[in-house]
Structure 1
Amino acid sequence: MFGKKWTSALLATALMIPLPAFAAQGTSQAAGQASGQATADAAKQAVVQPADVVLSGGAVYTVDRNRNWAQAVAIRGGEIVYVGTDEGAKAYIGKSTKVTDLKGQMVLPGFIDSHTHASKTTGLIYSIDLFDAGSMEEYTEVVSAFVKAHPQEVALQGRGWSNPVAPGIGPRKEVLDAILPNIPIALTSDDGHSLWVNSAALKLAGITKETKNPEGGIIERDPETGEPSGTLREKAMDLVLSKIGGYTVQQYKAGIEEYQHKAVERGVTTVRDPDMLRYPNVLEAYEELARENRLTIRFRNAITANPDKGPEQIAEFVKIRERNQNPLFQVNAVKIFMDGVVEGATAYLEKPYEHKHTNGELIWKPEVYNKTAAAADKAGFQLHVHSIGDASTRIALDGMEYAEQQNGKHDARHSLVHLQLVNQEDIARFKKLGAVGIVQPFWFMQEDGYYDEIEVPYLGQERAEKEYPMKSFLNQGVHVASSSDYIVTPEFNPLHGIQQGITRIEDGVTDPAKIANPNERATLPDMIASFTIDGAYANHVDDITGSIEVGKKADLIVLDKNLFAIPATEIKNAKVVLTLVEGKEVYSLKAAAAK
């Protein structure tokens, strides 16, 4: 639709050839088409009400249905009132209009992170942070320093240790006992699915050699003595965490506000935090921030369902949804933990793991899940299902199909999150059921320390090579939304995720053999859509955000580089210059640099 010049530009971009002329020439040509009716309508009007803000002279990639380009955007009352050429935008400039000449910089819809644990930023402020450590010796140093600095604590929590540092049964209690033997210590792994504890924590929870694994959980044990070794997986984590307690409402509020600062700096304007009710005080913290008008980005959160309570809990979820209808904070989804993770051998697989004769852990009984899914669907909630293994995903889709059979087909947009292993035949079921895939492109690589040390030995070479499909979903017309799963992914900049989804190779590595499942590489338009319009679709907000179109909220970001005019390997280096949420400036690179 854009002619030979546009086709050549896309071809050159695919070959990672910088195109300095494209930003001016290609955008100018496309802008004439993008403006279309808007310019014509403006010309017919004798008087156009002035806009509050006009951004002009830009490379505006609208991510609308036709993927149009424009040069200018006009904003009034927090909404987009014009998208088109610079010439057409002049009609919207009045005496009080703030006009910004973008000088060719790129404009995109605000990024959407469809699965991020924003509230867990609290733990980075108030607990032991192990994310920057990478060995047992470094973990010991960090924990010891924290213990020394907090001598009055009655229990210590933290997060960030990595499974490859202690594969198999995980890190040992004796390491922590040597630091602090009498005060409980509970340290969550970086993926959130395992807990490293000392003997005092095991004692607090009453966990002994005789304690059986809880349903959906594993108490790792010393292979010789059978004693608990110090690592708890999945539901077994709750045995300790329920005794230690969590953070206060005020601490969670501070963490969420800190997350917002991080988010707008990275151009993130809408997110889904799936941790409502999973931890005490998280929901209350969001509700207070909403009442106090201290939210600066849009949250469409999910309530974590308890597999022991079944469909009866949905009535409570409805009450929570009804009392939270703030424009920037709503709860519209039900989170289901269907299985665990590969690194803990708890992801639920069709065939057993290579290193142990088990298929993993299915956290929900299928019949309870089916009934809960149907009840949530009937109440108008989206399902937001954590699913890593291929068997888990099949069962999750079965529940969505059951809900459809019970309630009829409607625009539910249930989603499955992570999708590390998926049977090809199940991808077609996504399309049939209208289900959304929510993926983490940050993980699309043969990551050092994970791929050769964990994934290949645990899954076998054949399964490891098929991890994290994305293009297969897109090829069948499935909506795919990207996310970071922060804080599992500590650096959640969507620009890095966009690059990773295109290259599928670890940053700095050039060996083609190290490309993870190369047939699943996505295109730049694919990746941008996954972080914008498809993210909006996944969160049921595509009527108000996700693309730059007249009538939508002015959730916009300005980048210092046109992503279509630089090599894919340089996308992560682009910088967010400006972030707007409903027309309000919530971040400016210039202002941040001046501080």
Structure 2
Amino acid sequence: MTYRLPILALVVCAACQAEPEQHPADWVLRNGVVYTVDAERSSAEAVAISGDRIAYVGDDGGVEVFIGPETQVIDLDGKMLLPGFFDAHSHPAHAPVDSLSVRLYGLTSLEGYLDALREYASAYPDRPVIQGAGWSNTLFPPSGPRRQDLDRVVSDRPVMFSSEDGHSSWVNSKALELAGITKDTPDPPGGIIERDPDTGEPSGTLRESAAGLVAGLAAPATVEERLLALEAFQEMAARDGVTTVRDAYVRLDDVASEAYARADLTVRFRANLLFGPEDSLDSVGRYVEERAKYQLPRFTIDGIKLFIDGVVEGETAYLLEPYAHRPDYRGELLWDTDFLNETVAAFDEASFIVHAHAIGDGGVRVVLDAFAHARDVNGERDARHQVTHIQLVAPEDIRRFGELDIVAVPQPFWFTKGAYYENLEKPFLGEARADKEYPMQSFFDAGAVVASASDFPVTIPFSPLTGIEHGVLRTDDPGDPALTLGAEESASLEDMIASFTIHGAFASFLENETGSIETGKLADLVVLESNLFDIPPENISETRVLMTFFEGEPVFRAEGF
């Protein structure tokens, strides 16, 4: 299957043709396929950049007046130019840094994890606590990995490994000992201490809030460590054409926010402040003050992050119907619904974007009810509240996204029947329910704005081109039809591009500044080696990013281009 540009392939209109500037542009890119993602989804041949703004969008002939002796001219030679990509839910300040933690992402066996721990422990013998992240639930039974395996490698200092989804922690016996977690320790609210079925002793996996029981063993992250993470993230983002990112959450008085303020940013960041069911609405004023503190040109706090439930693989996602393997259990709703309603209404009144994590269909329904309550209490406004992950959503609730003007923030990278589907989702949910996971086209049909995201570092690498391909094909292996997840939810290439560009801009109130290629907007641009509409969709993820512009400056240029 091959896509072609719409018949209006080259539109030279008032919206595209600007009055020529009196001075030459800094950059001119011509002889390309410029897919603008403007309201008409029009296309052009050339773009001129002056300073941080787009000075011209149109045909090759019209751009000539922008070329002066100092103008840098790039002949695109038929290559594609798109707006810079958005990632609407990510964790940039938690990018893995090899010197600070054990990187487990991409490893595929228990022995691989233990080898990585062994190597790190040997390299850093004086580090009092060993931390890491990236282990997969698919490699372990429902009760998770066991402490005894970590003890075989390191038993004299705490080891704490976060799962790749960030919702569970795998710890050794020393960590449990120092945290005082025993068979008599009750599960904390919203958390689960996995236990040995024979002895009742903690087995080594801590779910959701239970992971917080060991968090105090490690020294808090420093601003310098967060700066290292941001530097690593921005390098990856530039290579992938990502120019704007929403940090899923920072905390009040977080060193991450200070790192953003001090960093040399080559990505534009918007961020949410975390608020939990244990917090008090008396503190809303502090959140307002923190937001005011960080209204910086490239880092802005404008949202509130709420965790409504957990994850399917941890049996903590909140479902409308019981888990298939636990017929009397529907998961963990982390909030009292009355308090959730009050919380959403309070932050809505304070003009925050409310960005909610909801994975189970029960969790989605509860937070949609809270958004409806806020509208009833405060009146309708252009709030752009958001629900992310949306793994299971009842059809009637999908329609409510459009009715309530809620932005859907899915992770298209996960649209496939892989190991998670076979080993966890199908047995936990039942095949019929698992096959309805991750709706996409239904949100577009409901009139909702869909802003796609990676949830990095859950997804590594996090190239939007991979997300676009998965959104179109609903699989990560087009050669095996059995791996296609819900083909009826396949979205068009046009809609998938929009979800990583102009829709991401809309979700952060940036659609008048960036997200499309239009005269006067910020010059956030990405050059691709191929026209995505002219190649088979299974080749989209293999398409190379050749150049990335952020606010008119090149932040990445492939060798040889």
TM-score by length of 1: 0.91
Structure 1 residue 275, shift from structure 2 partner: 2.8
Do structure 1's residue 583 and structure 2's residue 557 form an aligned pair?
no
Which amino acid is the alignment partner of residue 314 of structure 1? V
Give the aligned partner of residue 463 of structure 1.
433
Give the aligned partner of residue 2 of structure 2.
16
2:295 to 292, 311, 325: 325
Give the aligned partner of residue 30 of structure 1.
9
> Is the partner of 1:83 in helix, strand or coil?
strand
What are the within-5 Å matches in structure 2 for residues 159-238 of structure 1?
A: 159-238=133-212
Tell me if structure 2 keeps the 8 A contact 1:56–1:102: yes
Tell me if structure 2 keeps the 8 A contact 1:310–1:371: no
Structure 1 residue 310, shift from structure 2 partner: 3.4
Give the distance between the partners of 2:253 and 2:351, measured in 1 at CA.
Answer: 24
Which amino acid is the alignment partner of residue 486 of structure 1? F
What are the within-5 Å matches in structure 2 for residues 404-423 of structure 1?
A: 404-423=375-394
1:473 to 418, 443, 452: 443
Q: What are the Cα deviations for residues 200-236 of structure 1, in whole angstroms up to 9, with x where unaligned?
A: 1112221111111111000001111111111000010
Give the aligned partner of residue 503 of structure 1.
473
Do structure 1's residue 343 and structure 2's residue 313 form an aligned pair?
yes
Structure 1 residue 312, shift from structure 2 partner: 2.5
Give the distance between the partners of 2:149 and 2:282, measured in 1 at CA.
Answer: 42
> Is the partner of 1:114 in helix, strand or coil?
strand
Give the aligned partner of residue 72 of structure 2.
98
Give the distance between the partners of 1:579 and 1:165, measured in 2 at CA.
Answer: 37
Tell me if structure 2 keeps the 8 A contact 1:108–1:557: yes
2:486 to 506, 517, 539: 517
Give the distance between the partners of 2:216 and 2:372, measured in 1 at CA.
Answer: 34
Structure 1 residue 16, shift from structure 2 partner: 2.3
Give the aligned partner of residue 517 of structure 2.
548
Give the aligned partner of residue 297 of structure 1.
267
Structure 1 residue 91, shift from structure 2 partner: 2.0
> Is the partner of 1:399 in helix, strand or coil?
helix
Give the aligned partner of residue 568 of structure 1.
537
What are the within-5 Å matches in structure 2 for residues 281-292 of structure 1?
A: 281-289=255-263
Do the aligned partners of residues 232 and 37 (structure 1) sit closer, same or farther apart at CA in structure 2, a change above 3 Å counting? Answer: closer
Gaps of 5+ in 1: 1-14
Tell me if structure 2 keeps the 8 A contact 1:275–1:282: no
Do structure 1's residue 533 and structure 2's residue 519 form an aligned pair?
no
What are the within-5 Å matches in structure 2 for residues 70-89 of structure 1?
A: 70-89=44-63
Gaps of 5+ in 2: none
> Is the partner of 2:247 in helix, strand or coil?
coil
2:397 to 423, 426, 437: 426
Give the aligned partner of residue 83 of structure 2.
109
Structure 1 residue 541, shift from structure 2 partner: 1.1
Tell me if structure 1 keeps the 8 A contact 2:252–2:290: no
Do structure 1's residue 370 and structure 2's residue 341 form an aligned pair?
yes
Q: What are the Cα deviations for residues 243-268 of structure 1, in whole angstroms up to 9, with x where unaligned?
A: 32332110110110110011010000
Which amino acid is the alignment partner of residue 328 of structure 1? R
Do the aligned partners of residues 70 and 125 (structure 1) sit closer, same or farther apart at CA in structure 2, a change above 3 Å counting? Answer: farther
> Is the partner of 2:95 in helix, strand or coil?
helix
Tell me if structure 2 keeps the 8 A contact 1:35–1:70: no
Higher deviation after alignment, 360-369 or 106-115: 360-369
1:251 to 225, 234, 247: 225
CA RMSD of aligned residues (A): 1.7
> Is the partner of 2:244 in helix, strand or coil?
strand
Give the distance between the partners of 1:30 and 1:89, measured in 2 at CA.
Answer: 18
Tell me if structure 2 keeps the 8 A contact 1:123–1:158: no
Give the distance between the partners of 1:313 and 1:57, measured in 2 at CA.
Answer: 55
Structure 1 residue 428, shift from structure 2 partner: 1.3
Do the aligned partners of residues 219 and 132 (structure 1) sit closer, same or farther apart at CA in structure 2, a change above 3 Å counting? Answer: same
Tell me if structure 2 keeps the 8 A contact 1:560–1:574: yes
Count residues in correspondence.
560
Structure 1 residue 490, shift from structure 2 partner: 1.1
Tell me if structure 1 keeps the 8 A contact 2:16–2:518: no
Structure 1 residue 401, shift from structure 2 partner: 1.1
Structure 1 residue 540, shift from structure 2 partner: 1.6
> What fraction of aligned residue pairs are identical, expressed as a percent?
45
Structure 1 residue 122, shift from structure 2 partner: 4.2
Do the aligned partners of residues 164 and 255 (structure 1) sit closer, same or farther apart at CA in structure 2, a change above 3 Å counting? Answer: same
Give the aligned partner of residue 330 of structure 2.
359
Tell me if structure 1 keeps the 8 A contact 2:97–2:232: no
Which amino acid is the alignment partner of residue 188 of structure 1? S
Tell me if structure 1 keeps the 8 A contact 2:474–2:486: yes
Tell me if structure 1 keeps the 8 A contact 2:182–2:202: yes
Structure 1 residue 412, shift from structure 2 partner: 0.4
Do structure 1's residue 316 and structure 2's residue 316 form an aligned pair?
no
Give the distance between the partners of 1:38 and 1:424, measured in 2 at CA.
Answer: 39
Give the aligned partner of residue 461 of structure 2.
491
Tell me if structure 2 keeps the 8 A contact 1:188–1:196: yes
Higher deviation after alignment, 240-249 or 403-412: 240-249
Which amino acid is the alignment partner of residue 412 of structure 1? A
Tell me if structure 1 keeps the 8 A contact 2:401–2:446: no
Tell me if structure 2 keeps the 8 A contact 1:35–1:85: no
Give the distance between the partners of 2:357 and 2:456, measured in 1 at CA.
Answer: 14
Give the aligned partner of residue 104 of structure 2.
130
Which amino acid is the alignment partner of residue 419 of structure 1? I
Which amino acid is the alignment partner of residue 247 of structure 2? D
Tell me if structure 1 keeps the 8 A contact 2:24–2:71: yes
Structure with a larger share of its residues in helix: 1
Do structure 1's residue 382 and structure 2's residue 337 form an aligned pair?
no
Structure 1 residue 132, shift from structure 2 partner: 2.8
Tell me if structure 2 keeps the 8 A contact 1:385–1:417: yes
Structure 1 residue 285, shift from structure 2 partner: 1.4
Structure 1 residue 319, shift from structure 2 partner: 1.2
Which amino acid is the alignment partner of residue 570 of structure 1? N
Structure 1 residue 573, shift from structure 2 partner: 1.1
Which amino acid is the alignment partner of residue 233 of structure 1? R
Tell me if structure 2 keeps the 8 A contact 1:421–1:468: yes
2:411 to 437, 440, 444: 440
Which amino acid is the alignment partner of residue 16 of structure 1? T
Runs of 4+ residues deviating >3 angstroms? 34-39, 122-125
Give the distance between the partners of 1:34 and 1:328, measured in 2 at CA.
Answer: 32
Tell me if structure 1 keeps the 8 A contact 2:358–2:387: yes
Give the distance between the partners of 1:189 and 1:158, measured in 2 at CA.
Answer: 9
TM-score by length of 2: 0.97
